Amino acid sequence: MMVTSAEAYRPSRTAWVTTLAYCAAFVALGLSHASLGPTLVSLAAQVGVGLVQISYGLSARSAGYLLGSVLGGRLYDAVKGHPLIAAMLALIAIGLAALPLAPGLWLLVVVLFGLGVAEGALDVGVNTLVVWVHRRNVSPYMNALHFFFGLGAFLSPIIVAQAVRLGGGMRAAYWVLAALMLPVASVVARVPSPSAVEQTGDASPEPGIEVRARGNDALLLFLLPLFFFLLVGVEGSFGNWIATYAQAMGLGDASTAAYLTSAFWGALTLGRLLSVPLAVRLAPRQVLAIDLAGCLLSVGVLLIWPGVRIATWVGTFGAGLCMASAFPTTLSLAERHLRITGAVTSLFFVGGSLGGMVLPWIIGQLFERIGPSVTIGAMATALTLCITAFGAIVVRTRARGGKVRYG
């Protein structure tokens, strides 16, 4: 819901302080989220297993993220949000500190599951509370949140690489990341929590937009979570496996592979900045078409020139750049054609969480049996299916016509 020039939105000082605290929390979430990919090989060696077995840890983390996402919304409705966010940051710190100490696979899996629960609850909470702070004017602040998540995800592999280079190893890297969570938790806990948005049902449509009061379409409620399943599956596979792929292909050592992961998240962050003016000029369907075409081209570079260092860097950077705006743009597309409720939004997060769990797990099961090339092949397959789902969404939304608004 756009704000007209006649009613320019000016956040209060409290709103600014709260938003800055949320941005810091999303930097912390990005630091945690992107830490696992560059350390998979080291974690596998730590617990004495291969990559097939360590992939169970990826699935456990995604399963925990799914559970945290589902339960988080109810928790934030029941208790004050900021103490809960601070608690989740503290739990993330404990999980990160415990990872390099886990002596066996199943204890590592348990730690990763708990880490995922805390990350999922933090993600849902901050996304919910920023809406409560800015209400109908939330759009630019939501984009800023996801930029800061990308910033944290970009910095995380660099911290890992520097810890390795300086001789501290994986343990030092995780302990530094854990320590960075604590000041953020302290700041968020001291800021007053916002109150929930009350749904009044009296929102008026924007001028020139046709509104059709109709129920949600069951087919779209299937296609959109499917799209998120495939999209997040590809994103999670890049973030978690591209470093291991590069090492297995002889493209560099652990430090170089960590920088490659950082390039992916850095491109994702840059793409989110560049997508803001693009979204002003183009419809969501057009932006998504550009995003998906760029992703397919980038993965195609990796497929055509496997084992070529420059192609790996170009393909990885291109995929991150083009994937950057796909998730929030799809949410914008959904808002135009569905009556968005908490239950509908949870379907999208469930689809994405399941994708982030299943596809990286499949790659882990096949990596040692088939070889590192399965990483790119699996992502190319999932991306092709994602484009197919997008085509079906476009056909269905055009067939329905009109736009649905809620208030």
The last residue of one of the domains, among 194, 223, 246, is: 194
CA–CA dist 365, 16 (Å, integer): 46
Give per-residue pLDDT as tens, 261-285. 888 888 988 888 887 777 667 778 8
Query: What does the DSSP assignment read for 287-324?
Result: HHHHHHHHHHHHHHHHHHSTT-HHHHHHHHHHHHHHHT
Instruction: For residue 2, tell me if it sits in a domain.
Output: no
CA–CA dist 274, 280 (Å, integer): 11
Give per-residue pLDDT as tens, 188-214. 999 988 876 554 443 333 333 333 334
Whether residues 137 and 250 fall in one domain = no
Of the pLDDT bands very low, low, confident and very high (cuts 50, 70, 90), residue 107 is: very high
**DSSP code, position 249:** T
The last residue of one of the domains, among 135, 165, 194, is: 194
Burial (CB count within 10 angstroms: exposed 0-12, middle 13-18, buried 19+), residue 4: exposed
Whether residues 302 and 190 fall in one domain = no
Residue 199, C-beta contacts closer than 8 angstroms, at least 6 positions apart: 406, 407
| Tokens 């978690």 sit on residue | 240
pLDDT at residue 345, as a whole number = 65
CATH code: domain of residue 354? 1.20.1250.20
Whether residues 236 and 143 fall in one domain = no
Instruction: For residue 4, tell me if it sits in a domain.
Output: no
Query: What does the DSSP assignment read for 371-406?
Result: -THHHHHHHHHHHHHHHHHHHHHHHHHHHH-SB---
Instruction: For residue 221, give the nearest of 46, 112, 345 by alpha carbon.
Output: 345
Instruction: For residue 19, tell me if it sits in a domain.
Output: yes
Residue 112, C-beta contacts closer than 8 angstroms, at least 6 positions apart: 36, 57, 58, 60, 61, 64, 95, 99
3-state secondary structure of 11: coil
Q: Is a pLDDT exceeding 80 seen at residue 6?
A: no
Q: Return the percentage of the chain with pLDDT > 70, whole number.
A: 85
Instruction: For residue 290, tell me if it sits in a domain.
Output: yes
pLDDT at residue 182, as a whole number = 95
Element of type H or E holding 73: helix 51-78
Whether residues 139 and 248 fall in one domain = no
More confident residue, 208 or 185: 185
Whether residues 175 and 266 fall in one domain = no
Whether residues 164 and 271 fall in one domain = no
pLDDT at residue 407, as a whole number = 39
pTM of the model: 0.70
Whether residues 97 and 224 fall in one domain = no
Q: Could you tell me the residue range of the domain that residue 215 belongs to?
A: 210-407
Instruction: For residue 187, give the nearest of 323, 20, 51 by alpha carbon.
Output: 20
- Cα distances (Å, whole numbers) of residue 277 to 144, 149, 228, 318, 325: 13, 19, 23, 19, 12
Whether residues 170 and 218 fall in one domain = no
Q: Is a pLDDT exceeding 80 seen at residue 292?
A: yes
Instruction: For residue 224, tell me if it sits in a domain.
Output: yes
Instruction: For residue 311, tell me if it sits in a domain.
Output: yes
List, in sequence order, the alpha helices (H) in 79-214.
Answer: 81-98, 105-134, 139-165, 169-190
Give the chain's domain count: 2
Report the range of poorest mean pLDDT among 142-151, 179-188, 204-213, 283-292: 204-213
The last residue of one of the domains, among 151, 166, 194, is: 194
Considering only CA atoms, give the Rg of the chain: 21
More confident residue, 96 or 9: 96
Most confident range, picked from 215-224, 263-272, 308-317: 308-317
Instruction: For residue 202, tell me if it sits in a domain.
Output: no
pLDDT at residue 243, as a whole number = 85
pLDDT at residue 207, as a whole number = 34
Instruction: For residue 5, tell me if it sits in a domain.
Output: no
Whether residues 215 and 172 fall in one domain = no
Whether residues 124 and 14 fall in one domain = yes
Whether residues 348 and 214 fall in one domain = yes
Of the pLDDT bands very low, low, confident and very high (cuts 50, 70, 90), residue 389 is: very high
Averaged pLDDT of the chain: 82
Whether residues 238 and 372 fall in one domain = yes
